[in-house]
Amino acid sequence: MVTRLTEPRQNAWHADGTLHKPLLIEPTGHVEQAGRLIPIYDSGNETSTATIVLVHGSSGTARGSFWAVYPILTFTRRVVAFDLQLPADDAELTLADAVAQLRAVVDHASAGGAVALVGYSFGAVVAAAHASERPTTVASLSLVAGWSKTDRHQLLRNNLWQRLHDADPEALSRLTLLMAYSAGYLVGRNERDWRELQQAVAARPYPAQIMRLNRDIDIESGLGRIDVPTLVIGCRHDDMVPLHHSHMLFGAISDARYLEIESGHAVSVERPAELAVAVDDFSLDPHEHPAGTIIRNDHA
């Protein structure tokens, strides 16, 4: 579906033919919340469709989760991403805190109407929690590689993560590679991309505060209150948040439809176009597929 823009979108090209800088590095602004400033990345283009709000995962930053997906969505949509602010001095991050930050960002983004909320991984948990509390601010909800209750399998990994984080960061980055990416993706990289991937993972370990919070997630009781059209996206080869979690979300949310992407947990890197198009199409017409639909993959 073509989205007609009501105002000219910020063009990718400067008048002199050069490009804009990479996105999700310099915040476009800040949202104030509980005495702190949350950096936001607002593409700023006005459209006649719902603004997309992206909630990042355990990588800790919008760029970490969405560097490939955000720009694709901005072709036709206004997109707002943000970086979750962590409490100082390694104090505990609570889900309530994360949800409060998201609420502030959604308030900013929803001046023109309810938003298309998209949460990835840990961000899906936060997004689902927000939607269960503030459904009128959410026109549609996309939960990508998310979960509702931390289980033994996740704790196994989380414990291992913690031990390696403290004792062996190099081994930790290998664990992350192994669990975040599908085998096919790792095997399929050429030499240069494989080197860069290893370097990128080693350079950006997940914030420990988010990983500790991940141990105790339980939003099951709130899922029944999510009264907005939802798309649950599960990744077929997800070893970090396996498919059964997405199956549960699909069952628990009444107005949910389900899509599987052939990818590892890092779907936004492995299949950025597929993820972006799926989220974009769904949020433009949330009821194109009735509740309960398992959306067929349109194979090439």
Residues 36-95 that bind another protein (CB under 8 A): 67-68, 71-72, 75
DSSP per residue over 15-80, as a string? TTSPBPPPSSSS-SEEEEETTEEEEEEE----BSSPPEEEE--TT-SHHHHHTTHHHHHTTTS-EE
Chain center to CA of 188: 24
Spatial contact of 139 and 115, defined as CB atoms under 8 Å apart = yes
**Which residue lies nearer to another protein by CB, 166 or 285?**
285
Residue 225: strand, helix, or coil: coil
- Cα separation, 152 vs 150, in Å, equals 7
Which of 93/269 has CB closer to another protein? Answer: 269
Alpha helices in 208-300 (DSSP H): 208-214, 220-223, 243-252, 267-270, 272-284
Q: Which is nearer to another protein, 108 or 271 (CB)?
A: 271
- By the rule CB under 8 A, 299 interacts with another protein: yes
Residues 279-298 contacting another protein, CB under 8 A: 281, 297-298
Is 273 an interacting residue with respect to another protein (CB under 8 A)? Answer: yes
Contact status: 200 vs another protein (CB under 8 A)? no
Considering the complex, state which of residue 25 and residue 294 has its C-beta at the smaller distance from another protein: 25
The least distance separating another protein from the CB of residue 239, rounded to whole angstroms, comes to 18
The Cα 255–Cα 234 span in angstroms is 16
Window of 11-19, 29-37, 85-93, 135-143 that interacts with another protein by CB under 8 A = 11-19
By CB under 8 A, which span of 42-50, 80-88, 122-130, 269-277 interacts with another protein? 269-277
Nearer residue to another protein within complex by CB, 22 or 224: 22
The amino acid occupying position 10 is: Q
Member of 188, 224, 251, 292 binding another protein (CB under 8 A): 188
Residues in the chain: 300
Q: Do 136 and 121 meet the contact criterion of CB atoms below 8 Å apart?
A: no
- Residues within the interface to another protein (CB under 8 A): 1-2, 4-5, 9, 11-13, 17, 19-23, 67-68, 71-72, 75, 184, 188, 190, 192, 262, 271-274, 277, 281, 297-300
